[in-house]
Structure 1
Amino acid sequence: MTRGSLAGAAAQAELAERLVDAALRVLAQHGSAELTVRRVAEEAGSSTMGVYSRFGGRPGLLEALYQRTFTELTDALAVVPVTADALHDLGELSCAYRRFALDGPHRYGFMFSRPLPDFEPADGLHAEVLQAAFAPLIDAVHRAGAQGLGATRAAYCLWCVMHGLVGLELTDVLRAPLTSWGVTGEDCAAAERMYRAGVQAMIAGLELHQAVA
């Protein structure tokens, strides 16, 4: 490969990175509905032709953004320390997942709620990014005593509870029950306590026990 072709490839890679960064900012600030080629190109200081030349159009850009959002989730869960107490680790992983969702509601919705009816990730991509992101959760469930495929199933059940509770919190559905159950709206930690309680109840229901080395 010549020096010129290397420079061209580097420029294309830099443009792709800049466009995905811009798409992530548009998503965070304005939501999925604003993820148009023109809006993202303007945010990136590029032209619409840059989007088409690098990604082939909006679907390719959205797929790259989809991969980036799951990379960020993967990173958020991967930094949770692994300890000798797998059940503790499960609790910490679940809280890291909640923080990730609350830190970027539009990002979270784009990942899991399919807000754009004209966008569907390529075959196999959804399973691939989920497997990478939730590897620490599956590992912790395995260390807590689940074996083989049972670990994956248990982790999936736990994620369903995490996802459901976070979804209710993001849509403010929890606000009315909290008030009716005697929890004041000023108690900012109430939703987190309920989330932790729900996760712990699910862990107990799965009958996971700390594996003895």
Structure 2
Amino acid sequence: MARGSLPGAAAQAELAERLVDAALRVLAEHGSPELTVRRVAEEAGSSTMGVYSRFGGRPGLLEALYQRTFSVLTDALALIPATTDPLHDLSELSCAYRRFALDVPHRYVFMFSRPLPDFEPADGLHAEVLQAAFAPLIDAVHRAGAQGLAATRAAYCLWCVMHGLVGLELTAVLRAPLTSWGVSGEDGTAAERMYRAGVQAMLAGLELGCG
């Protein structure tokens, strides 16, 4: 690459980063329906032409945002240290996942619920970002004794429980049953206890133990 092209390339990379950052803010504050080219460009202090020049249009921008949201999840789960007790690690990872979802619900919905019918990640991207994000979960399942395909299945089943309980909590569907079943707690305390209980029950059901 010619020396004279470096400043321009750096400026283009900075613009792309700024646009994705802006899209992440729009998503967190206003939800998926507001992810328009104009809204994101305004948030980034750019023009709509900047979105088209860097991403080819809204689909490219959304795909870059999709990758970024999973990078945030990857970083959040990677912060949980691996210990000599993999069952403890699985419990902590599951709680970190719940915190991630509850901190910015719009982001979580964008990642897992397909709220935009005109956006579908490129082939293979969904599997790629999931594999990267859940590597600590799969590693802990391995360390808990599952091997090969059994470990993948165990991690998948555990994630299904995590995702299901978080989804119910986000839509407030869980509140009425908790009250009628006599599970008390301030704000999300009862939901958190039910979440932990669900994770532990799945670990036991997978015969990984539930210390």
Seq. identity, % = 90
For 1:192 and 1:138, the matched residues in 2 are separated by 23
Give TM-score scaled by structure 2 length: 0.97
Secondary structure of the corresponding residue to residue 126 of structure 1: helix
Note the 1:58-207 alignment, pairs <5 A: 58-184=58-184, 186-207=186-207
For 1:139 and 1:179, the matched residues in 2 are separated by 36
Secondary structure of the corresponding residue to residue 173 of structure 1: coil
- Quote the offset at 1:83 in angstroms: 0.1
- Quote the offset at 1:182 in angstroms: 1.8
RMSD: 1.1
For structure 2, the 5+ residue unaligned runs are none
For 2:120 and 2:192, the matched residues in 1 are separated by 32
For 2:149 and 2:8, the matched residues in 1 are separated by 46
For 2:203 and 2:175, the matched residues in 1 are separated by 24
- Quote the offset at 1:2 in angstroms: 2.3
Q: Which residue of 2 aligns with 1:52?
A: 52
- Quote the offset at 1:172 in angstroms: 0.3
- Quote the offset at 1:205 in angstroms: 0.2
For 2:68 and 2:187, the matched residues in 1 are separated by 34
- The answer to whether the Cα contact below 8 Å between 2:67 and 2:129 also exists between their aligned partners in 1 is yes
- The answer to whether the Cα contact below 8 Å between 2:69 and 2:111 also exists between their aligned partners in 1 is yes
For 1:128 and 1:185, the matched residues in 2 are separated by 38
Secondary structure of the corresponding residue to residue 118 of structure 2: coil
C-alpha deviations, 1:17-73, integer Å up to 9, x for none? 000000000000000000000000000000000000000000000000000000000
C-alpha deviations, 1:120-166, integer Å up to 9, x for none? 00000000000000000000000000011111110000000000000
For 1:97 and 1:163, the matched residues in 2 are separated by 9
- Quote the offset at 1:184 in angstroms: 4.0
- Quote the offset at 1:181 in angstroms: 1.3
1:169 and 1:124, CA in 2 relative to 1: closer, same or farther beyond 3 A?
A: same
Q: Which residue of 1 aligns with 2:14?
A: 14
Secondary structure of the corresponding residue to residue 121 of structure 1: coil
For 1:79 and 1:185, the matched residues in 2 are separated by 28
Give TM-score scaled by structure 1 length: 0.96
For 2:186 and 2:132, the matched residues in 1 are separated by 37
1:90 and 1:118, CA in 2 relative to 1: closer, same or farther beyond 3 A?
A: same
- The answer to whether the Cα contact below 8 Å between 1:175 and 1:185 also exists between their aligned partners in 2 is no
1:29 lines up with 2:29 in the alignment: yes
